[in-house]
A and B are shown apart, each in its own frame.
Chain A
Amino acid sequence: MKHLRFLMLGLATSMACAGADLRATPEYVRPNPFGGIVDSDRHGISGFIRGQVTLESARAAYVSCHLVAVVAEGGEYGLEVNPFPAATGIRLDLYREWFHFLPASNRYIPDALIPVRSPYASRLPEADNHIPGQTAQAFWLDIWVPASTQPGEYATSAVLKTGSRTMPLPIKLTVLSQVVPDTDAVAIDHNTYGTSWFDEQYPNLARRYGQDFSTSDAFYKLIHAYHRVFYEHRGVFHQLGYGHAGKVGPEFAPQLEGSGRSKHVSSWEAFDRHYGPLLDGSAFAQTRRGAKPIPFAYLPINPEWPASYLGWGEPGYEREFVNVVSEMERHFREKGWTSTRFELFFNHKKRYKGFEWDGDETRFAGDYAYFREYARLLKAAVPADTPVKFVFRADVSWTMEKQFKELAGIINFWTCGGGMFGWYDYAPRMLKERGDIVWIYGGTPAVTEPLSAMAVDVLRPWLWGIDGFVRWLTTSPGPDPWNKFEGGTETLVYPGEPFGVEAPLASVRLKVERNAVQDLTLLNDLARVRPLEKLKVDAAKAFNDTSVEDWRTPRPPLADGNPEDWSNTDVDEVIPKNRKFTTALQPAAWQHVREYMLELAREAK
């Protein structure tokens, strides 16, 4: 996959020298706007790369680094990255890194990536980023190596121009014969809720269409663009289409008419416009990964849709549910939408006062009966031999151990709180042997953490032998991410509108996550040359000097008590704080895994 070697020719540390300079850093070392490195990435880093960037990559993969244009006296500059020969198929993508100001720490950290064309010309300080005394501009360089590229050595260069001076930086790329498999070793899911935030994040677009925005092509294009940015980064994207009291966004569900016996779908127009290109894969036709249907999609089913809660517990509820869900199954089958898993999933919580039971993170055992009832209704609605994949998903925390037992055969897609799931060492095998899908969930590391923290959530599910990880909210950058950034724990993308892009912008953290998924996918594939368990032991050791067991929490005595008596604090306190996962986590942690994987890849045939 990739490998960035430090060729330290005249080591520079944190301060720019007088004049101008073109430098590089590995992907896990973020530059700051003053010619240095951001605080969290300095640990164990001896300096910038100068003289030559040396990269190594498998095929069907990206390899990345930061380029840093340093112009100590400020003023005009230009950056050009020369392409590799066209016949190689290797492509370059260049992004300008936005330096977000974080008032809490009075620091600038790069994250949002603005696509730019090479050659790029500008001046320092950059007019829009408004950084007093800015002397350096960082760029993210993505190099795409398609599966068709011949293994071998390739070379190109980046060039910084200031006034009459020209500073080249050679880039050498070694392409290995190994090809990264198309199917990822783990699914990294990116979640969001509804579309009402489009108006806030794309105010000009919303204003242009006015009342017609939500029915415009631009609106649907934006939805698809969000799916695309995560797909391009080897991720999954989920967008929940209903609220805690059952309100369904019109684009997330077919339109219904009638009640009781006569309830039926009256129009598929908005649903098909939304989901059609996602479910047949055409929304991804222009991507490097190619057209492919989304692997998962939430259904709009909730206690108030498609059946009115007025009939709950009565024959009319079942009739309304079965009528509509049967129509959905038939529609999906006729359209050939048979590779996506359609999720019956309840997100509501009783604390939001819509319904009397917790669909999400169920805490009270009295609520389990609802899951049994909906499983019965789904079975009544869907033919046993349907080729359409319906799954029943539950996001569980407090009582997951009890739910694994009592809802066996009812729930077949578990999304588990990552901390607590670590207590139950038998659970991954038990659930996987049943054929269930198993994910864990959590948040997103802030930009103030080392970038290697992004890889923890990629590595953990693989070490545990489960299927994926969900970041619970990934599209909410806050009211002013550009100038008053809150850290980005609820986003991995940014609205592109301020830069003339009516689509989300990727981030440094998303790129790092993608590269980790890519590396892990190839490492997992190398189980053909070395036992999988050995790969896991070595990867954990390489990442942060841990054993696979260190990634779990021994079952605490608390786990044998009544979950209704637990508090969040109780749970938090019994999960040990291992410094190797937090303050002692090295910025280069993932690089060590990559080097291990590359070593195996070089040896493998």
Chain B
Amino acid sequence: MTSRFALILAAAGLFAQTDDRTQALNRVAQVATVMVDGDVCRRIQTPRSEGLLTRVDPRDPWAAADNYDVNHAEFIQVKKTLIRLSHLCPEACDVNLWMPVAAAPDRVQIMIRNVYEMSQFWNWGALHQPMPAEMKKVLDTGQRVTVRRRPGMVSVLAPVYDSLGDIIGLVEVVSQAGRNPRENVK
């Protein structure tokens, strides 16, 4: 067997693995759309915190972060659902919840992160951030979107609905080949 042929086979194997992983994440994302309760998600952040989230106070630039607060019961309920969903992944994965910022439609905030601290989108420490095009697509169309931005990482984004049938947010089901066990331990 020539080395070139071996390389082609190895590459094919890698793609097959990636494809398998993507399919698995996609299945979890599909289930997440069914299982994550959008009405509860809407109630996670406290109204006071939500009101301060985008307010610009030159006298106190940290007001939004210092006053960031959530309702415990709703947060816990949704977080546990996300953890359960992550257990459906055949390998280590996180299921993160993202929600658009009501007062700034061009922005989005991660609402719940999980134990592997993986995300292809979160700018570490950001309370909220510009809405990525992929997320906007999910929120606008309800389609699942697969994203490969960072080396080795695959995310599947899927919509979260409330009882009215409105899309109120999305989940990011994410895993990483060659995951760094020390990254984000900070």
| Contact B60–A249 (Cβ < 8 Å) | no
Q: How far is the CB of A473 from chain B (nearest CB, A)?
A: 10
| Contact B181–A250 (Cβ < 8 Å) | yes
Segment with Cβ contacts to A, from B73-81, B132-140, B159-167, B168-176: B73-81
A586→B110 CA distance, assembly (Å): 48
CB-CB contacts of A359-390 with B at 8 A, as 1s and 0s?
A: 00001101000000000000000000000000
B125 in complex: contacting residue of A194, A352, A356, A567, CB < 8 Å: A352
**Given A247-B116, A352-B125, A356-B72, 7 new contacts (CB under 8 A):** A196-B186, A245-B184, A309-B80, A310-B83, A350-B68, A564-B67, A568-B66
Q: Is B115 an interface residue (CB 8 A)?
A: yes
Q: How far is the CB of A216 from chain B (nearest CB, A)?
A: 13
Residues of A contacting B116 in the complex (Cβ-Cβ under 8 angstroms) = 247
Which of A196, A250, A363, A564 has the most CB atoms of chain B within a 10 A radius of its CB?
Answer: A196
- A residues near B (Cβ < 8 Å) are 193-196, 214, 240-250, 252, 304, 308-310, 312-313, 350-357, 363-364, 366, 398, 564, 567-570
CB-CB contacts of B110-141 with A at 8 A, as 1s and 0s?
A: 11111111000000010100000000000000
Sorted nearest first, the 4 A-B pairs with minimum C-beta distance are A194-B185, A356-B75, A567-B60, A193-B186
| Contact B115–A304 (Cβ < 8 Å) | yes
| Contact B66–A247 (Cβ < 8 Å) | no
Residues of A contacting B84 in the complex (Cβ-Cβ under 8 angstroms) = 310
Residues of A contacting B67 in the complex (Cβ-Cβ under 8 angstroms) = 363, 564
Q: How far is the CB of A41 from chain B (nearest CB, A)?
A: 33
List 10 contacting pairs A-B, 8 Å CB cutoff, sorted by A: A240-B185, A244-B113, A244-B117, A245-B115, A245-B117, A247-B117, A309-B79, A313-B76, A354-B113, A354-B117
| Contact B183–A357 (Cβ < 8 Å) | no
Q: Given A250-B181, A356-B75, A568-B66, answer yes or no on A308-B114 (Cβ-Cβ < 8 Å).
A: no
| Contact B180–A356 (Cβ < 8 Å) | no
A569→B63 CA distance, assembly (Å): 9
Residues of A contacting B76 in the complex (Cβ-Cβ under 8 angstroms) = 312-313, 356
A193→B184 CA distance, assembly (Å): 9
| Contact B113–A196 (Cβ < 8 Å) | no
Q: Given A249-B182, A312-B76, answer yes or no on A568-B113 (Cβ-Cβ < 8 Å).
A: no
| Contact B83–A309 (Cβ < 8 Å) | yes
Residue of A nearest to B73 (CB): A356
| Contact B70–A356 (Cβ < 8 Å) | yes
A354→B183 CA distance, assembly (Å): 15
Q: Is B102 an interface residue (CB 8 A)?
A: no
B114 in complex: contacting residue of A245, A350, A567, A569, CB < 8 Å: A245
A241→B182 CA distance, assembly (Å): 9
Residues of B contacting A247 in the complex (Cβ-Cβ under 8 angstroms) = 115-117, 181, 184-185
Q: How far is the CB of A222 from chain B (nearest CB, A)?
A: 13
CB-CB contacts of B86-113 with A at 8 A, as 1s and 0s?
A: 0000000000000000000000001111
Q: Is B31 an interface residue (CB 8 A)?
A: no
Q: Which chain B residues numbered 37 to 74 have a C-beta less than 8 Å away from chain A? A: 57, 59-60, 62-63, 65-72
- B residues near A (Cβ < 8 Å) are 57, 59-60, 62-63, 65-72, 75-76, 79-80, 83-84, 110-117, 125, 127, 180-186
| Contact B111–A353 (Cβ < 8 Å) | yes
Residues of A contacting B112 in the complex (Cβ-Cβ under 8 angstroms) = 353-354
Residues of B contacting A194 in the complex (Cβ-Cβ under 8 angstroms) = 182, 185-186
Residue of B nearest to A398 (CB): B66
Q: Given A351-B65, A352-B125, A354-B113, answer yes or no on A567-B184 (Cβ-Cβ < 8 Å).
A: no
A248 in complex: contacting residue of B65, B71, B185, CB < 8 Å: B185
Q: How far is the CB of B33 from chain A (nearest CB, A)?
A: 20
A489→B20 CA distance, assembly (Å): 47
Q: Given A309-B80, A567-B59, answer yes or no on A366-B72 (Cβ-Cβ < 8 Å).
A: yes
Q: How far is the CB of A25 from chain B (nearest CB, A)?
A: 38
| Contact A214–B182 (Cβ < 8 Å) | yes
A245→B63 CA distance, assembly (Å): 22
Residues of B contacting A214 in the complex (Cβ-Cβ under 8 angstroms) = 181-182
B66 in complex: contacting residue of A242, A243, A248, A567, CB < 8 Å: A567
Residues of A contacting B72 in the complex (Cβ-Cβ under 8 angstroms) = 356-357, 366
Residues of A contacting B180 in the complex (Cβ-Cβ under 8 angstroms) = 196
B113 in complex: contacting residue of A250, A353, A564, A567, CB < 8 Å: A353
A274→B127 CA distance, assembly (Å): 34
Q: Given A352-B113, A352-B125, A353-B111, answer yes or no on A363-B66 (Cβ-Cβ < 8 Å).
A: yes
A246→B83 CA distance, assembly (Å): 13
| Contact B185–A243 (Cβ < 8 Å) | yes
Residue of A nearest to B46 (CB): A364
Q: Given A363-B66, A366-B72, answer yes or no on A193-B185 (Cβ-Cβ < 8 Å).
A: yes
| Contact A353–B185 (Cβ < 8 Å) | no
Q: How far is the CB of B27 from chain A (nearest CB, A)?
A: 20
Residues of B contacting A364 in the complex (Cβ-Cβ under 8 angstroms) = 69
Q: How far is the CB of B186 from chain A (nearest CB, A)?
A: 4
Residues of B contacting A569 in the complex (Cβ-Cβ under 8 angstroms) = 59-60
Q: Given A245-B114, A567-B63, A568-B60, answer yes or no on A195-B182 (Cβ-Cβ < 8 Å).
A: yes
Residues of A contacting B115 in the complex (Cβ-Cβ under 8 angstroms) = 245-247, 304, 309
| Contact A241–B80 (Cβ < 8 Å) | no
Residues of A contacting B113 in the complex (Cβ-Cβ under 8 angstroms) = 244-245, 352-354
Residues of B contacting A309 in the complex (Cβ-Cβ under 8 angstroms) = 79-80, 83, 115
A243→B76 CA distance, assembly (Å): 18
Which of A247, A250, A363, A569 has the most CB atoms of chain B within a 10 A radius of its CB?
Answer: A247
| Contact B184–A196 (Cβ < 8 Å) | yes
Residue of B nearest to A214 (CB): B182
A252→B181 CA distance, assembly (Å): 11
A569→B184 CA distance, assembly (Å): 29
| Contact A308–B69 (Cβ < 8 Å) | no
A591→B150 CA distance, assembly (Å): 54
Residues of A contacting B114 in the complex (Cβ-Cβ under 8 angstroms) = 245-246, 354
Residues of A contacting B181 in the complex (Cβ-Cβ under 8 angstroms) = 214, 247, 249-250
B185 in complex: contacting residue of A195, A366, A567, CB < 8 Å: A195
A169→B121 CA distance, assembly (Å): 61
Q: Given A353-B113, A569-B59, answer yes or no on A196-B125 (Cβ-Cβ < 8 Å).
A: no
Residue of A nearest to B44 (CB): A356
Residues of A contacting B70 in the complex (Cβ-Cβ under 8 angstroms) = 350, 356
Q: How far is the CB of B129 from chain A (nearest CB, A)?
A: 12
Q: Given A195-B182, A312-B76, answer yes or no on A243-B117 (Cβ-Cβ < 8 Å).
A: yes
| Contact B185–A242 (Cβ < 8 Å) | yes
A101→B183 CA distance, assembly (Å): 30
| Contact B83–A243 (Cβ < 8 Å) | no
| Contact A351–B68 (Cβ < 8 Å) | yes
A269→B114 CA distance, assembly (Å): 26
Q: How far is the CB of A566 from chain B (nearest CB, A)?
A: 9
A270→B69 CA distance, assembly (Å): 36
Q: How far is the CB of B167 from chain A (nearest CB, A)?
A: 20
A366→B113 CA distance, assembly (Å): 21
Residue of A nearest to B184 (CB): A243
| Contact A243–B69 (Cβ < 8 Å) | no
Residues of A contacting B59 in the complex (Cβ-Cβ under 8 angstroms) = 567, 569
Residue of A nearest to B84 (CB): A310
